Structure formats: structure tokens, C-alpha cells
Chain A
């Protein structure tokens, strides 16, 4: 009778072991080159977020949540942040937030251009797509193995894993957003003599922004999950609190970490989700929201004008 174990003749494990060892030895400069910007941005973020006074941080976060999302989200943000501080894990939460913000910066810097490239070239998309499929179906846990082999242990290798796990949704959504732009819009651009670059910047990207922000939301949530998991390879932050709690059978400590993670995740999700929701039928949420941050008067004016137009009779309509 054939037993399943009899078929285990391929020493795949040692092949991979050898392969990764070879990579680690011979491509060391490459991995250092990847690690360097990650380390730089991460350290900058950790420094900034830990140096900023608690109250100042809460004030800025609440203001952001109010302008970008809504008053309700702002209130929730305030409560959640105070709760995290009350749980006594503020510093760890800031480290986790650094991991996430770093992932956002790097994913945006790398993922959006890749997404744009995929949208403009079917060939590139046919290469990138299966890679993304593999990356997204691979359990986050499994990412840790090659990362440890190639980058070592600690917070910076952890960040590499976070970035790797969080980038695919942004690439996908960027590609999707640009491809979904109506043909007539693209044709309008071409008909008025847009170059390829103008078409991208004047037509395709602005119209893809809501979708790209949807991808950003996914990226933030994936980064959140991953930033906890990478505690297993020695990354600091809230994940480490949970891990330590588990290791010492200290359920209370683990729960504190867990609650803080949930609160932080909810704040990030609410804010980024609101960003992605189109303001009107056209949708220009990001720019308008950001503009609104600096010019509150103009944002308010925009709102009243919109209300009038919807209301109908308040605005003279030459067509009637």
C-alpha cells in the first residue's frame, strides 16, 4: 500500500534553505538597499510620534478626523486615544502607529507607481497580478520566514514584512481605479490633445483617487494586522504587549494589548474609509478634504452651494 509519506522524496525544505542562504549571502547589498529607506522612514516616524506631546497628538488627530471624516469620528477618535493612554500602552501604541504610517508612506511611494504601470500595460499587469495573488493568499504568518532569513529580527525587519503584506491592495486598487475611468473621459482627454502624461495626471489619476483611497484603507488595515503579527520576530509595539502577555500567561496584559489594537484599528479605519467615500457623484474627496483643512471657509461655501443645487428652486436654472 502506498503511503503518503513514501512520496516525500523531494527535499524541498533543504532546497529552499540553501536557496535563501544563497540569496542572503550573495544579494546582501540588495537587501541592505531595501532595508535602508524602510529603516530611515520608520525611525523618523517613531521619533516624531514619541516626541509629540500626548495632548498635542490628540488635538491634531481629532482635528484631522473632524475635517477628513466627521464630527462623530472625531469624538470617537478622542475617546479611543484617551482610552489607549488610560490602558497604559500609549508608547507601544505610538510604535505600532509608526509601523503603520511608515507602511503607508512606503506603500504609497512604491505601490501607486506600480499600480499605474499595471493600468497602462497589460503585459506588466499579467506579470504583477499572479505575484499579488500569491502575496495576498499567503498567510501573514508565513511572511515572517523569508523576512527573518533575509533581513534578520527586530523592528526594522518587521516593518519590511508589514510593507510587503500591505502593498498588494494599494497596487490592485490603483490599477483598478485607473482602468475603471470611463472611456469617454479618456477620449475627452485625447480629443483635446493630451499627451500620455497629461492624460494620467489630468484625467485618470484624479478620477481614480476615490478607488485608490479605498485601496489605502485596505493597506492600512493589513498593515495594522501585520504590525501585530511581526511582534513574533521581535518588532516592538502593541503586538509585543499581547505576545508577552501570552508568553507569561498574563491574560490581563494580553487583553490590554488587544483592546488597544482594536481601538487604534477602528480609528484608522473610520478616518481612511471616509476619505475614500466620494463627496458627490463625481467624487473628489481627498483634495477637497485636504483643501478644507487649510481653507475652512471655502469648504463651507462649497457645501452650501451643493445644497442649493440639490434643493433646486434656490438656483436660477436657464434650462427651465
Chain B
């Protein structure tokens, strides 16, 4: 995965003469100390992160943690005090006025918490706002606006005014406006925080659906850890202007690293967050008979695979023993009631599929067996005890 956006040692202090505060921060002082000694508010303290192309990168933190400041530094609504922000290798911090304007027009667009739609313009006029600023011809930009409005499901609403729309619909317009300029990077600053819980969930699903085809690089600011888990490819957690934890949602839940982060992860619904692969027992098939191999399930029995690694059936511990002792032919001893789940299915799906007494196979996208799953493993994965990490798991 290539890197679209890189933040290096970014500092932001809110002062006209930031030097004393920056010097203190460089010597390891924290936000509170700087405020007490100099009266200067620190927004960001030495933040570095890397946003891969096509990721939904969640920046999560409580109010005052600097998450919005970070987002605003990316398109320089806030001027960084020190550090570098590289967009495809180009430093945004040192960009001149015209260059910055160009970046804002074509490379980075933004969705706002309270939508920030112009009340005196129709939905279509709001959507084409960015294009109008670029000087795109009226007919061309209107056509583009209609395109993106239909992408976000507001095809027939172009001639209405924002105040005629519900909150969720307004934010769809906000999203459409951001998409209209075709920028590769989208900053979503608490974009769904002002919405009702149900509408928020709907918008989250919508964003995930859109992202599958759009493949933008999204920097999503939120104070909601559940939202971060649901949407995030990676999550960065901020506190007091510093980055305290960064990683994939699963790795953060497995290993919060600090009490501060653990406070968020404690209430997480692991059954939806973790997939079958994270809890399964990996298998090592051994040849059984001509064209068949056996993957032992650990309880004495095993799954029988064909050449391609697909599950043909299962053998009980007793049957397997009989077979090994030179028993009868294989065919009529095979159990056909194997439950199959995919690696990417959540533990919740696995739990739903589970049937007492029936073996459970975990397969990859090709249908090849990669592991087995038993009830105790599913339970261990859902409970807060971290499941042991199998090799080649998703937490690397």
C-alpha cells in the first residue's frame, strides 16, 4: 500500500510568538506545563503519522485532544507551527498562497461537522461550489453536481434549499460538495457527529459503500471510538495534542497500550470487530489417502480435504481411530454436516453459524480450508481475554 499523506513532527501552538512554547515542547514538556508556564495553548505536540492511499484513517480523541486541529492543519485552516505535512511527497506547510489554493481546490476537500452549506444556495449550487471557485463553466459544473448528487442519493433534490432537508440529507450534500472537486484526499471533521444515532449509522454504512468504489484517502475525525472501529482502516488516538496509539482497529483493541486507550476499548463489541481468522486454530493437513488429506481438529477427529484444499467432509475421533487401525473404506464414514465460515466473517457470524456437535471449518476466499473453529475459541475471542494470535493473522 502506498502512502498518500504523511505528517512529520507536527506542532501547533496557538500564539503569535510560538518559540518559547515550541522550545519547551522540544525539551519534552507536556501541554499542561506549557500552559501553566507560558499561558500558550498547545494544539499539537510532535504528531507524526502516515496515511496509506485509499484508507479511511480515523483520528479519534476527546474534545481538546487536538484531533480537529490536526485535520485543520492538513489543509492549513490552522497554520502549523512546525513540522511537515507531505501530500504525495509535496510539503503543504511550505506551500505558497497560490499553491495552497490549488491544493485546496483539487487535492484535498473537506466535510464539516455542521455541514457548512450556504443557506442562500440550492443543493446543486452548494454541490458545485468548489467547481465554481475553480472557474469551471456553469453547464459543466452543474452536470458534475448532478452526477455526485445521484452518487449520494439526492438526485432529485438539486433545486431545493438546504433548510428544506433533514440533517442526514444535508450532510450528504456536504459529502457531495467534497466529492465534486474529485480531490483524492477527503477530510471529514466530525462529519457525522451532529446527526441522530440512526442516521449516523446509515451515513457510516453509506460512506463504507461509497468508499468501495471511490477509493479516496479519507482522514476522518471523530470522538466516537465505535465509529472509529466501524469505519477505520487504521485509527490514531490522540490526547493532549499527542498521538498516544496508532494501529488497526483490531490491534488497538487487543493491545490498548495504556489505560487511557483501554478506557475506550473496554466496551467494544468484539464479536463484530474480530473475524473468524483471528480466533481459529490454523491447520496443517497431512496426506490421508489418494487425492485426500487430513486436517486434525485437535479433538482427535479431523477434516478431510481434496487436492485443492476444499473440505470434503469430517471424521469423528472414533472413526478416525478405526480408520487408522486399518479399518474399512473412507466413503461412507465421512460426515457431511461440516459448518463452513469464511475467514473474514465476524465472530458474531461464526457464533450464529455454530451448531453443537458439528465441526466448523474456516475457509479463505477460494474455499480452501485455513483453520478450524470451536465454541471455546469463539467465546475466547468475544470475551475480553485476547485470543492468541495465529501466524499470518490480521494483526501483523
The yes or no verdict on A and B being binding partners is: yes
Q: Which A residues are within 8 Å of any B CB, using their own CB?
A: 182, 184-185, 187-195, 198, 202-203, 206-207, 209, 280-284, 287, 305-306, 309-310, 315, 317-320
In the complex, A187→B76 CA distance in Å? Answer: 10
B104 touches A190 (CB 8 A): yes
Nearest B residue (CB) for A282? B119
- B104→A282 contact, CB < 8 A: no
Q: Are B181 and A319 in contact (CB under 8 A)?
A: no
Q: Verify if B110 is at the interface (C-beta below 8 Å from A).
A: yes
- Given contact pairs A206-B120, A281-B163, a sample of 12 additional A-B residue pairs in the complex whose CB atoms are under 8 Å apart: A187-B77, A188-B110, A193-B102, A198-B133, A207-B119, A284-B120, A306-B164, A309-B163, A317-B169, A318-B153, A318-B168, A319-B199
Residue pair A206, B77 in contact (C-beta under 8 Å): no
- Are A191's CB and B120's CB within 8 A? no
Contact check, A309 vs B164: say whether CB atoms are below 8 A apart.
yes
Residues of B bordering A, CB below 8 Å: 72, 75, 77, 101-106, 108-110, 112-114, 116, 118-120, 129-130, 132-134, 153-154, 159-169, 177, 181, 187, 199, 202
Judging by beta carbons under 8 Å apart, are B77 and A192 in contact? no
Q: Whose C-beta in chain A lies nearest to the C-beta of B119?
A: A282
User: Top 7 A-B pairs ranked by shortest CB distance?
Assistant: A282-B119, A193-B105, A309-B164, A193-B104, A284-B120, A188-B116, A192-B130
Shortest distance from the beta carbon of A154 to any chain B beta carbon, whole Å: 43
Instruction: Write the nearest CB–CB distance from A54 to chain B, whole angstroms.
Output: 37
Given contacts A191-B75, A191-B109, A280 and B163 within 8 Å (CB-CB):
yes
Q: Determine the residue in chain B with the shortest Cβ distance to A316.
A: B156
Kindly state the separation between the CA atoms of A223 and B192 in the bound complex, as whole angstroms. 49
Contacts known (A191-B77, A318-B169); A283 close to B164, Cβ less than 8 A? no
B104 near A191 with CB under 8 A, answer yes
Decide if B116 touches A282 in the complex (CB within 8 Å): no
The total number of A-B Cβ pairs within 8 Å is 100
- Note all chain A residues with C-beta closer than 8 A to B108: 191
Given A202-B133, A306-B164, A318-B154, the answer on whether A191 and B110 have CB atoms closer than 8 Å is yes
What is the CA–CA distance of A134 and B153 in the complex, to the nearest angstrom?
56
Contact A305 B75 (CB under 8 A): no
Least CB distance from B136 to A in Å reads: 12
Q: List 6 A-B contacts (CB under 8 A).
A: A190-B104, A191-B112, A193-B102, A195-B101, A280-B163, A305-B159
Q: Is the CB of B118 within 8 A of A317?
A: no
A282 and B101 contact, CB distance less than 8 A: no
Known contacts A192-B104, A193-B104; A184/B130 CB under 8 A: no
CA distance A187 to B104 in the complex (A): 11
In the complex with contacts A193-B104, A309-B164, A319-B169 CB distance below 8 A: yes
- A243–B324 CA distance with the chains assembled, in angstroms: 126
A191 to B134, CA, bound (A): 12
Please determine whether A192 and B133 come into contact, CB atoms closer than 8 angstroms: yes
| Chain B residues closer than 8 Å to A310, beta-carbon distance | 164
A129, B75: Cα distance in complex, Å: 34
Given the known interface contacts A191-B75, A317-B166, the answer about A281 and B102 at a Cβ–Cβ threshold of 8 Å is no
| Nearest chain A CB to B316 CB, angstrom units | 53
Residue numbers in B under 8 Å from A194 (CB-CB): 133
- Docked Cα-Cα span, A306 to B177, in Å, equals 22
> B193 to chain A: closest CB distance in Å?
13
Chain B residues near A190: list those with CB within 8 A: 77, 104
Contact A187 B116 (CB under 8 A): yes
User: With a CB–CB cut-off of 8 A, which chain B residues contact A187?
Assistant: 72, 77, 112, 116
Q: List the B side residues contacting A185 at CB < 8 Å.
A: 116, 118
